[in-house]
Amino acid sequence: MLPFAALLHRAGLAVLLLDARNHGDSDDDSFSSIPRFAEDLEQGLGWLARQPRIDPQRLFLLGHSVGAAASGGDAGPR
């Protein structure tokens, strides 16, 4: 997703990249599932929404494979 992140950042958007648990540089976990990945996304979006200069009404998800499946639920801003 790095090429997409770079394009979005150059367009002036804030970008947060998350590795799904047990993937990439994330921590190891004994159990992975789409619902748990969606929980991770919800936590990441919540953190991002609390950052200065971030409009919590303008958060979007972009995912591939497992990330796309996890972002398809109700993990949007609260």
Q: What is the pLDDT of residues 13-27, one digit of tens each?
A: 888 888 777 766 766
Average pLDDT value for the chain? 79
For the chain, which residues make up each domain, given as ranges?
Answer: 2-71
Q: What is the pTM of this model?
A: 0.69
> Which residues, 6 or more positions from 8, have their beta carbon under 8 angstroms from its beta carbon?
15, 62
Mean pLDDT within 31-45: 83
pLDDT above 90 coverage of the chain, percent = 9
Mean pLDDT within 49-63: 86
